[in-house]
Amino acid sequence: MDTAIKSLGPCENLSPLRHHSGVEVSFKTDEERVLFDHRMSPGEVPQPQLSFEVAGAREHIFFNPAKTTAGIVTCGGLCPGLNDIIRGIVTQLHLRYGVTKTYGFRYGYEGLVPKYGHTPMTLRPESVSQIHSFGGSILGTSRGHQDIGEMVDFLEEMSCDILFVVGGDGTLRGAFKLTEEIARRGLKKAVVGIPKTIDNDIMFLDKSFGFETAFGVAVQALKCAHSEALGSMNGIGLVKLMGRDSGFIASYASLAGSNVDFVLIPEVEFQLEGARGLLESLRYRLAKHKNAVIVVAEGAGQDLLEAHGETDASGNKRLGDIGLFLKDRINAFFKARKIECNLKYIDPSYMIRSVPANAADNFYCSQLAQHAVHAGMAGKTGLLAGRWHGAFVHLPIPLATQGRRKIDPQSELWHSVLESTGQPARLA
């Protein structure tokens, strides 16, 4: 596993942070590392470990702030905290480093392709000072691939030295292709990623920004579902939450809400039929307690649905709607047995994605933005800034995008979910 971070060249400029506002900066060096795995099993013999480069301000930087132009682009779906990231980057560049020219490229990678006609926004501290109070992204987003050559041409035209790319794994793969094309042309431009995924499924990260806000809002949806279930005979609250490949939001929200009876996630297969299947388990729950709440992640149970093989603009497989599928199957199951059932289906996904970030994510986004700027000004490229084992680190983009972070069915997290819900370990 290669954890080396690429650099544009020697850092020959003294950082302006050395004498900024009388604040003594704790500069980091490239030799400071964070271990990949800080745990050791009983009886295990210590081995040389992989490690990640520590993020933070460098005493010497590659770019001359007075001559530097930066750009920001946000891609993919909305996520709480996007405006916080934009605000943090602009503020750090302008007020701490003295970089006065920062552009916001509109509507994702489309903003780097002139034929779409998206005029770049000039971003200054005063123009972004309050944007963290609003959800979404002031730059807008889009999905889909664009021509790498055209995008690099446009960065050249705009004299953009550092591009900050905010997005998920597909967006970050695009960012790395930009890095490769820039290197092929012999240009001195840095590409720095900030990982965005509301599902919390980026590899080698403690968490992604917006996740705490997302599962916090999801908890409110679960409380509503519980109230609906309590309000009628054999009431069922069925809530579909985000999670294409990973069930982190469903699991965390269910644990925080403490009133959920079944949690269905992509990592754990389940069956509908049979004595130990979901439907019979649900019937038993209603017979005993007269109500139930089910949480299902959007990527769960896809083996039960008819596959169409379609993909979205980003190349992701289009998922079947497991929420509506379960709604129909549950209603049909109880109707066939002449058992009264009052099911309320709730899908709060778009509401969750578009809310402003909470205080914890405000704080986290500010830190991510600061570390991304430090990396960019030091001439580091093809990397993303993230947090691992509580410390901020630099991760090579190919390493972070080689797979998806998932819940281990044998982990303490999933065992906690099973204990909280009381559901069988296997619905099969």
Grouping H, G, I as helix, E, B as strand and the rest as coil, residue 194 is strand
d(CA 165, CA 375): 13
d(CA 298, CA 135): 22
d(CA 90, CA 96): 10
Assign residue 95 a region: left if phi > 0, alpha if psi is -120 to 50, beta otherwise?
A: alpha
- DSSP code of residue 35: E
**Residues 6 or more apart in contact with residue 30 via CB below 8 angstroms:** 5, 53, 58
d(CA 201, CA 219): 19
State yes or no: is 199 an active-site residue. Answer: yes
Are β-strands 51-54 and 262-264 bridged in parallel, bridged antiparallel, or unpaired? unpaired
Q: Which of 84, 161, 169, 199 is catalytic?
A: 199
5 and 383 Cβ atoms separated by less than 8 Å: yes
d(CA 111, CA 116): 7
Residues marked as catalytic: 199
